[in-house]
Amino acid sequence: MEIHIGDRIADVTLVSKEGNKVQLTIDGVPYDVDIVMAENGSCSILHEGKSYNAELIRKEGGKSYTVNAHYQSYNIDIIDSQAKYLRMRKGGEEKQQDKIVSPMPGKVVKIPVKVGDRLQAGDIVVVIEAMKMQSNYKVNSECVVKEILVNEGDSVNSNQVIMTLDVVKEEE
């Protein structure tokens, strides 16, 4: 996921989590940390024998935080993968492509369509879970499901084709 910390943009990937032990990469650099969260938003982070304390204050919308640490405050914005994917496309008003591609690694939670279904713009075609967050992926124009290449419960990689579509051509 992409995280904005003030003017800095960091690419953060959760590698594994077991109890309080977390393995992650920040801009490709691996980190092993022990994180303990308290109910009041404060957390204790242990990394390479050093202890750090921080206070997390969630802003409206749930994707932005103020983090107070070391007598400084930082504004943190978490950019979810679907928003990043849509932003990277040249304006979200493009015509529907002939396939649905996973923008991130994750687990296929739900496929509410079947081969042959005729879809309208805005219909959800797959739900993917990554790092305990579910994202709905929708089509942006009329199309028909041609082939579904994954099953519910499957793990998918970033840029993996999930399904193919026949895009309905507009009458001119």
Closest-CA residue to 159 (of 92, 100, 116, 102): 102
Longest dimension (CA), the chain: 67
**pLDDT of res. 88:** 55
The answer on pLDDT for 90 being more than 80 is no
* Residue 12, amino acid: V
3-state class percentages of the chain: helix first, strand second, coil last, to nearest 5? 5, 55, 40
Question: Sign (positive/negative) of CA torsion 126, 128, 134, 137?
Answer: negative
At 92, the pLDDT band (50, 70, 90 cuts) reads very low
From CA 163, how far away is CA 154, in angstroms rounded?
A: 13
Give this prediction's pTM.
Answer: 0.47
The answer on pLDDT for 93 being more than 60 is no
* Residue 104, amino acid: M
At 152, the pLDDT band (50, 70, 90 cuts) reads very high
The answer on pLDDT for 61 being more than 70 is no
